[in-house]
Amino acid sequence: MVGISTPVARKSLPSWWDDEIALIPSGVQQAQMYLARAFNISLASLADPNAAVIFLASTQQKPVTH
């Protein structure tokens, strides 16, 4: 999925996550929401199997230190 390895994807899901949750459509949506947030990916692009994955711009600016 989107080039995210299974072990990395699993670490992005809550500790209570069970793969059987993804057997129902709402469970798939829930997993997509967690992964989209963890990897800063557009949820709409992640949910559409025909769409290119869109990474979102970071909204947090880190201060520049010299």
Give residue limits of the domains in the chain.
1-66
DSSP count for the chain of H helices, then E strands: 3, 0
CA atoms of 11 and 61, how far apart (whole Å): 25
41 φ, ψ (degrees, to nearest 5) = -110, 145
Contact 32, 47 (CB under 8 A): yes
- Give, for all 66 residues of the chain, the pLDDT tens digit: 567 899 999 999 999 999 999 999 999 999 999 999 999 999 999 999 899 999 998 776 667 776
Of 57, 31, 55, 60, give the one whose Cα is nearest residue 41.
55
